[in-house]
Amino acid sequence: MATMPLIDSIYLYRLSDDTVQTPYSVSKLAVFNDKQLIVEALKQSGLNRLWTNVRKGYTEQGDSTDFVSLVRYVPLNSGNDGLIVVNVQLQAIVRFVQTLTTENSNHISLHDREGTPIYGDIHGNDPLMTEMHSDYSEWAISSSVANGNLFRLVSAISKYWIFICIIFFFIGVLWIVVVTRRNYKPVETIIQRIQLFSQQKSAELFRKGNHDEFKFIDTALVNLMEQSNAYQKQHEEDLVFKRKHFFFEWMEGNRPLKYEEWQQEMESLGMPCDFDSLCVSVLEINKYSKFASLYSDHDQNLLKFVLCSVVKEIAIGRNVTIWIEWTSKDQLTLLHLVQKVSPESKPEQIASEIANDMMQWVKTYLDFNITMGIGSGVDRIELVHYAYVEALEALQYKPSLGEDSVICYWEINPEGKQQSLDLLEYIRALAFSLRTGEGDWQGSFAQLFDGVRAGLYARKELDNLMNYMIFFLDKEFTDLPADVQKIWANGVQDKLQKAVDDWDTVDELQHMLRNVLTETTEAIATLREMSSNYMLIRKIKLYMEEHYQNPDLSLLHLSDVFHVQMKSISRTFKEEIGENFIDYLTRIRTEHAKELLVHTEHSIQEITVKIGYLHPNTFIRSFKKLVGQTPGDFRKTAQVKS
């Protein structure tokens, strides 16, 4: 209250709990020292008198003094919540009035509505007294001259001055009429010129400081129109945002809608809502990271605007209503509201035709390319979300079906898609070749990607497959010597992961992975050539490849052949190859057994002997442990494939 020196105190009364709150305390009405004012205010049906008469009250310190108070309901229209009371000390009003009357030539008196003096004391029978009443506070203020004799003398003389002024006034009016009639035409010409000048130069005159009220009004109207245009522009910008937000929620299925609610929302957004069927397609800019690096932000926005404009033009040419929004930085979603032209017309067909026209236009006029996915047509707004999901899923098959194409979801048939079942086997063979340094790892790598191209895989499926390959390679390299593991740990895994995260086409993925694996195998080969232990193991592996049919092939046999202790061979084998001797021998025999099972008619007994086992049961257990099938089941599966 330091900024309002007239106010002595303010307090609030809350009706709900009969509580009075001051800046310094909270108490019940029953014990509040100024409760009488609140009680009387609550008895009134309406606060017709805002300010009270002079009354006795108590200050915050508990001293008794004279107050006038302002009492208002809260809220103002009903007063259901309580009251607010503002107290002003009578002495504060007296001091304030005294600051306004510094001269001693007049007297001032202030009374409340009951006539109780607040300030001064003027007798009501003074003929020179002037009195005014306030409609707001219903108080009266009186003023009179301190020395009335001089004022009475001047008033008496002024009566004759009034008669003289009236005479001169009528003489002046008569003279104006005569002069005006005599000079009417020149004055009319001047008025016309002034009006024309005001219309043409109003802005200039206002800037020069000629504060003519008509020019002020003119400027105000101009400002009003400018503000109206600004508000209209802001409304249009807000409408664009609301449309995009509603479109995104609808496509994502985050906002379930009934038809009536959807229709009202569309009308409020200024969008058409008449349709017989609906179809959703998604346009995706291929290699968006390259697109973003080639073009500035301004050029990117311009090219995206061009894509939107072309789509709209193509749709107008086919008499199709279309709603388009960028739902991500690289994807433009198109909602087709199709009116049935003929019984044969289908929304999917119309969307496909628009997509093909769009693809052809982009190929002709732009330096980048796009892929479009189309979902199934629907006839209810509740199903639009599923059509949108289908369009996005269609784009997931871009790696298998190729970029720069139109992919229709109903042509993919995910349930019946052809996929190679040997991809995991190719990955295992690739990992084995890389780990041992033997075999044709590039052949296994090429078979892996030939299988990918032969099947139909979504982007997520290929990502999972490549991540499994990285995981399996990491597992295989864990058992190799520390210097070989160091090569893997120093960036090889990160490079492979980066390639898996950044690819766009299968060819691009294969190229990046092959480069990383080539560098890795060359580094490992260089390291192994300097290892005497590895050269020994290499000779042992060649011997095992030539004599795997020997049932006596063992660590003891190799120790006799190469004149090296058994423990030394076993330890070196594990360190250099990352696999036990027995496991490696079993793998060699199993691979040869596969060849015999597929390409010959030999029995299991015959194959057992040919690959170096003495008992069929031992062969069957080893084969099943490594392959996951018995030899007989493996032969049947191979025959079905062929």
Which pLDDT belongs to residue 193?
61
Nearest to 390 by CA among 411, 405, 369: 411
Count Cα atoms within 13 angstroms, Cβ side, for 17.
Answer: 7
- Identify the residue with better confidence: 298 or 417: 298
Strands (E), 125-244: 130-133, 140-145
On whether both 284 and 398 belong to a single domain, the answer is yes
Joined tokens for residue 312: 């709209």
Rounded distance between C-alpha atoms, residue 328 and residue 304, angstroms: 12
Find the CATH number of the domain harbouring 635: 1.10.10.60
Joined tokens for residue 630: 């018995």
In the 8-state DSSP scheme, what is residue 51? B
On whether both 278 and 409 belong to a single domain, the answer is yes
On whether both 473 and 460 belong to a single domain, the answer is yes
Strand, helix or coil for residue 276: coil
Percent of the chain with pLDDT over 70: 82
In whole angstroms, what separates CA 183 from the centre of its chain?
75
Which pLDDT belongs to residue 205?
46
Rounded distance between C-alpha atoms, residue 294 and residue 274, angstroms: 41
Joined tokens for residue 572: 């070196």
pLDDT tier for residue 432 given thresholds of 50, 70 and 90: confident
CA angle 531, 535, 541 (to 5 degrees): 140
pLDDT tier for residue 365 given thresholds of 50, 70 and 90: very high
Q: What's the mean per-residue pLDDT of the chain?
A: 81
Which pLDDT belongs to residue 416?
45
Q: Residue 88 in contact with residue 57, Cβ under 8 Å?
A: no
Which pLDDT belongs to residue 303?
94
Find the CATH number of the domain harbouring 324: 3.30.70.270
On whether both 498 and 395 belong to a single domain, the answer is no
Sequence-separated contacts (24+) of 391-398 with Cβ below 8 Å = 391/280, 391/281, 391/282, 391/333, 392/282, 393/458, 394/282, 395/282, 395/284, 395/371, 396/458, 396/459, 396/460, 397/456, 397/457, 397/458, 397/459, 398/284, 398/286, 398/371, 398/459
Which pLDDT belongs to residue 43?
81
Lowest mean pLDDT across 98-112, 286-300, 392-406, 457-471:
98-112
- Identify the residue with better confidence: 149 or 447: 447
In whole angstroms, what separates CA 516 from the centre of its chain?
38
Backbone angles phi, psi at 140, to 5 degrees: -125, 140
Residue 228 lies in a domain: no
Residue 511 lies in a domain: yes
Over residues 334-348, mean pLDDT: 79
Which pLDDT belongs to residue 361?
94
On whether both 524 and 547 belong to a single domain, the answer is no
Question: Is the whole model's pTM more than 0.75, yes or no?
Answer: no
Q: Over 70: is that where the pLDDT of 634 sits?
A: yes
Which pLDDT belongs to residue 25?
84
On whether both 387 and 342 belong to a single domain, the answer is yes
Last residue of one domain, picked from the residues 482, 505, 530: 530
Q: What is the pLDDT of residues 538-559, one digit of tens each?
A: 788 888 888 889 888 888 888 8
If you write DSSP's letter for every residue of 375-444 in order, what string do you get? ---BSSGGGHHHHHHHHHHHHTTHHHH-SSSEEEHHHH-GGG----S-HHHHHHHHHHHHHHS-S-HHHH
In whole angstroms, what separates CA 76 from the centre of its chain?
41
Q: What is the pLDDT of residues 15-34, one digit of tens each?
A: 888 899 888 888 888 888 88
In the 8-state DSSP scheme, what is residue 491? I
Which pLDDT belongs to residue 363?
93
Which pLDDT belongs to residue 309?
93
Q: Over 70: is that where the pLDDT of 231 sits?
A: no
Contacts of 444 (CB under 8 A, 6+ apart): 426, 429, 430, 433
In whole angstroms, what separates CA 386 from the centre of its chain?
22
pLDDT tier for residue 351 given thresholds of 50, 70 and 90: very high
Element (H, E) at 306: helix 297-317
Whether residue 551 is preceded by a cis peptide bond, meaning omega within 30 degrees of 0, is no
Residue 444 lies in a domain: yes
Q: For the CA atoms of 395, 399, 401, 402, what is the dihedral angle to 10 degrees? A: 100
Rounded distance between C-alpha atoms, residue 30 and residue 392, angstroms: 71
Lowest mean pLDDT across 91-100, 395-404, 410-419:
410-419
> How many CB atoms are located within 10 Å of the residue 443 CB?
13
Backbone angles phi, psi at 404, to 5 degrees: 55, 45
On whether both 316 and 405 belong to a single domain, the answer is yes
Q: Residue 45 in contact with residue 66, Cβ under 8 Å?
A: no
On whether both 286 and 383 belong to a single domain, the answer is yes
Over residues 375-401, mean pLDDT: 90
Question: For tokens 């160091």, what's the residue?
Answer: 486
On whether both 371 and 482 belong to a single domain, the answer is no
Last residue of one domain, picked from the residues 42, 65, 98: 98
Rounded distance between C-alpha atoms, residue 206 and residue 222, angstroms: 13
- Identify the residue with better confidence: 442 or 44: 442
Q: Residue 535 in contact with residue 562, Cβ under 8 Å?
A: no
Count Cα atoms within 13 angstroms, Cβ side, for 238.
Answer: 7
Q: Residue 187 in contact with residue 195, Cβ under 8 Å?
A: no
Question: For tokens 């990502």, what's the residue?
Answer: 463
Residue 374 lies in a domain: yes
Joined tokens for residue 235: 């409304």
Rounded distance between C-alpha atoms, residue 131 and residue 144, angstroms: 9
Lowest mean pLDDT across 305-309, 569-573, 588-592:
569-573
Residue 281: give the domain boundaries: 274-413
Over residues 38-43, mean pLDDT: 83
Q: What is the pLDDT of residues 174-224, one digit of tens each?
A: 888 877 777 766 656 655 665 565 566 555 545 545 555 455 556 656 766
On whether both 80 and 53 belong to a single domain, the answer is yes
Quote the number of domains for the chain.
Answer: 5
Residue 574 lies in a domain: yes
pLDDT tier for residue 344 given thresholds of 50, 70 and 90: low
Residue 124 lies in a domain: yes
Last residue of one domain, picked from the residues 354, 378, 413: 413
On whether both 35 and 84 belong to a single domain, the answer is yes
Lowest mean pLDDT across 182-196, 382-396, 489-503, 610-624:
182-196
Where is mean pLDDT largest: 180-189, 267-276, 319-328, 556-565? Answer: 319-328
Q: Over 60: is that where the pLDDT of 85 sits?
A: yes
Residue 618 lies in a domain: yes
Rounded distance between C-alpha atoms, residue 92 and residue 153, angstroms: 38
Joined tokens for residue 53: 């008469």
On whether both 435 and 409 belong to a single domain, the answer is no
Nearest to 90 by CA among 139, 135, 47, 41: 139
pLDDT tier for residue 263 given thresholds of 50, 70 and 90: confident
Q: Over 60: is that where the pLDDT of 125 sits?
A: no
Joined tokens for residue 563: 């004149």
Q: For the CA atoms of 406, 409, 413, 417, what is the dihedral angle to 10 degrees? A: 50
Residue 625 lies in a domain: yes
Strand, helix or coil for residue 501: helix
